[in-house]
Amino acid sequence: MAGLTDPFLSPALGAALEQWLSHLQALEGAAANTVEAYRRDVARYLKFLSTHRGGAEGLAAVARTSQSDLRAWMAAERDRKLSARSLARALSAVKSFTAWAADRTGADATTVLSARGPKHRRKLPRPLSEDGAAAILDEIGADAREDWIAARDTAIATLLYGLGLRISEALSLTGADHPLPETLRITGKGGKSRPVPVIPAAAHAVSEYVTLCPHDLQPHEALFRGARGGPVNPRLIQSAMERARLRLGLPATATPHALRHSFATHLLSAGGDLRAIQELLGHASLSTTQGYTAVDAARLMEVYEKAHPRA
């Protein structure tokens, strides 16, 4: 972990990095995974500057990084085979840290803040077909060693596809959420809360699981449990999904997150309003949800090209 004891950073700069990360988490509501990714990106950047310039520097000097230093860092990242997408994310983290540093030191950070990241093709979500999604719900618990575990995996998959939840959101439900109400209040990324209507199939699947579950589901504890009674590990659901898609002959893109994408894409295909779907998914930006329109366009083009092959 980069931070106060990192030998490549001065104590002051290490402390600044930790303060910025705390700021991200406490005041901007950044998710834990985002914070850790930014920690790695910025620590690597600061280590590069220290080596490139021949010694650790203070916060103001980092904020005033020159264009040539920034280009050298980006070239070094490319040399270690960092993808354009990952480099763009790293630059975003560096900009955020630099803006924070400039605000505290009064340094001119224009060079860093105006830097443009590498162009990269946006990765489109890969939803399942309606038949494929239905097959996963039927199959995901087929090889579970106990009936209650099969019911658990089915219930979680139904929440992902039927309500459009992230797997982390489904696994954050507690005993107090059962029986599922007509509308669930879900807390998603960045601590943002949204109402999500509950379809009968999801309420029924969760009830089936609760009826069979051998563990005492206290209101303040996790609703979905592992075999030993602790909160279920998301990897278990990913593994169950992987085994199900192999049995069904579905592609490797048939992941738990693909069920959430399928929820949105199928709603959109049925005439759902894009902004309403954005709210259901908890996307901060409409442009994120608009990726699903591109998916539909891509699928239509595939059908067209198969029906009208080029000579």
Catalytic residue positions, numbered: 166, 189, 257, 260, 283, 292
Q: Please count the CA atoms within 13 angstroms of the CA of 83 that sit on its side-chain side.
A: 7
Q: Which of 109, 86, 84 is nearest to 40 (CA)?
A: 86
Is the dihedral angle over the CA atoms 230, 213, 227, 236 positive or is it negative? negative
One-character DSSP codes across the chain: --STT-TTS-HHHHHHHHHHHHHHHHTS---HHHHHHHHHHHHHHHHHHHHHHTS---HHHHHT--HHHHHHHHHHHHHTT--HHHHHHHHHHHHHHHHHHHHHH----HHHHT--PPP-PPPPP-PPPHHHHHHHHHHTTTT-SSHHHHHHHHHHHHHHHHH---HHHHHT-BGGG-S--SEEEEE-GGG-EEEEEPPHHHHHHHHHHHHH--S---TTSBSSB-TTSSBPPHHHHHHHHHHHHHHHT--TT--HHHHHHHHHHHHHHTT--HHHHHHHHT-SSHHHHHHHHHHHHHHHHHHHHHHS---
Q: Could you tell me the two tokens for 248?
A: 């069904």
